Structure 1
Amino acid sequence: MSALDDLAPVPFHDADDRQRARMLSRLADTELSVALLREPAHDQVELQIFDLDGVRMALACDAEDRLADFFGHSVAYAALPGRVLAGLLKADGAGLLVNPGHPSEMMLDAAMLDWLTGALVAAPEEAEARLRLTAPDAGVAADLSDALAERLADLRGLVAGAALVGVAGAGHLGAGHSGAGHLLVIAGAPVDRQPAIAKALAEALAFLPPQPGGVDISFSDTAPPPGALLFDLTPPAPEVEAPRPKGPPILR
């Protein structure tokens, strides 16, 4: 079972929108082995494109042995992150078949890849305002908690923790918002890594159901308000081996 398989308790095309979005988000960050027509030459790759029911598709798996098993023999391949492969195929107008015969099998047509690449350009909006932080709405917390915990776990060791809070303050989300929404506050993040962290989290939010007022991302080490949804990312303490009992005394 792979990380993508773990997100597929039901087949991708039978899953609800939320589950499919989680799988696509994980796919974007997964290194895929994509079948090639021939070995790469001078960093140039030529994808194998198949005609499946009139739809042009490339074929990729999240492990090279899965790709070889599908063909029944070794095959030329390139290892590319899902987000890079989606961009290449979008430019070519082709789709992508992922992990055929496995729990995480996905057949993504050109329209789905277009949506995926659009979601991956999501970026947090910068805004300045006086905000009043509150506990998050229970429904919003329920919608976002699992997916945010999964994404934040990828950042363990880079950030100390996070909190989802409610926020009130006119204009905090820019034009078109009502002035009340939510904020994901990140603690303990190095300043030079904050833009990349914000981008990764904005991508994750782009794959989740839209929330009233939106969800912004901020960095602060101040204590969150009572009732905030907390994500503790402190690395676990190393296990200390219990001292062994001393043996019986040696008699002479």
Structure 2
Amino acid sequence: MTPLDELCQVPFHEADAPARARILSRLADTELFAALLAEPADDRAELRLFDLPEGRFALACDREERLAGFVGGPVAYLALPGRVLAAALAEEGRGLLVNPGHASQLMLDAGVLGWLVQALQARPSMVPDEAARRLGAPSPEAVALLAEPLAQRLGDMAGLVGRLALVAAEWQDGRQGHALILAGVEPAHEDAVAKALAELLAFLPELPGGVDIGFAGPDLPAGALVLEPPPPPPAPEPARRDPSAPPRLR
């Protein structure tokens, strides 16, 4: 099972709009192996296109062996992020077939790819400079909508974010909404982290008042939803040689 498979417990084209948006968000951050007509030459590569009733589609998989299995043997490919492939195909009016025959099979026409590219252009709404009038526990609707996607995105940002908290906020101008307050982020990484969270929010239904993004800041209120990235996997233990084994000769 790949991360895309895990999100496609319900097939993409049968899922509701929020689930489809989350799948597309994951696709954008997935390394895809796109089938080529031939090995790249002079830094140029030509995608292998398939003529289907719905139009012309490129083929890509999230595992090399899946691509070879579908084609029926060795195939030239180009490895690139889903967002880059989507942008190139949308510009040419082509579609994209992903992981045919697997749980995460997707058939995305140029219109869907164009929507994906537009969503990826989202810019973060940052917490206002002035202090909030009030911070409180997030609404149940916000928790239900954001908790799982935020936890998954934090998994992608392990080592960059120490803690993320979702709170309800009322600002000095009277606007009421929610905020994501992050801690443990190096200043050099703040723009990239905020952009990644803005992209995530762009793929989800909008909450009343919006969701602002801020770093450090005030003490968290009671009831804040606090998430931390998973710990890094333990380093593998070094192989130990059997002391009774014969010496190795060079």
Letter in 2 for 1:105: Q
Secondary structure of 2:74's aligned partner: coil
CA contact (8 A) 2:136 2:224 kept: yes
The 5 Å alignment of 1:15-164 reads: 15-126=15-126, 127-131=128-132, 132-164=134-166
In the alignment, is residue 209 of structure 1 matched against residue 210 of structure 2?
no
CA contact (8 A) 2:151 2:229 kept: no
CA contact (8 A) 1:183 1:215 kept: yes
What corresponds to 1:249 in structure 2? none
Shift of 1:12: 0.7
Question: Quick one: structure 1 residues 238 and 53, their matched pair in 2 at CA, closer, same or farther if it must change by over 3 Å?
Answer: closer
Letter in 2 for 1:133: L
What corresponds to 2:242 in structure 1? none
User: Which whole-Å deviations, capped at 9, do the CAs of 1:124-155 have from their partners, x for residues lacking one?
Assistant: 13443331211111111111111111101211
Question: Quick one: structure 1 residues 237 and 95, their matched pair in 2 at CA, closer, same or farther if it must change by over 3 Å?
Answer: closer
What corresponds to 2:180 in structure 1? 184
Which aligned runs of 4 or more in structure 1 are off by greater than 3 angstroms? 236-239
The two structures have a TM-score, normalised by structure 1, of 0.88
Letter in 1 for 2:200: A
Shift of 1:120: 0.6
The two structures have a TM-score, normalised by structure 2, of 0.89
Secondary structure of 1:59's aligned partner: strand
The 5 Å alignment of 1:165-176 reads: 165-171=167-173
CA contact (8 A) 1:186 1:219 kept: yes
* In 2, Cα distance between equivalents of 1:170 and 1:215: 15
* In 1, Cα distance between equivalents of 2:37 and 2:229: 44
Letter in 1 for 2:100: P
Question: Quick one: structure 1 residues 68 and 236, their matched pair in 2 at CA, closer, same or farther if it must change by over 3 Å?
Answer: closer
RMSD: 1.9
* In 2, Cα distance between equivalents of 1:212 and 1:109: 31
Structure 1 residue ranges without an equivalent (≥5): 172-177, 242-252
In the alignment, is residue 233 of structure 1 matched against residue 234 of structure 2?
no
Question: Quick one: structure 1 residues 66 and 118, their matched pair in 2 at CA, closer, same or farther if it must change by over 3 Å?
Answer: same
Secondary structure of 2:116's aligned partner: helix
CA contact (8 A) 1:169 1:180 kept: yes
Secondary structure of 1:144's aligned partner: helix
* In 1, Cα distance between equivalents of 2:58 and 2:76: 13
Structure 2 residue ranges without an equivalent (≥5): 238-250
Secondary structure of 1:192's aligned partner: helix
* In 1, Cα distance between equivalents of 2:78 and 2:234: 38
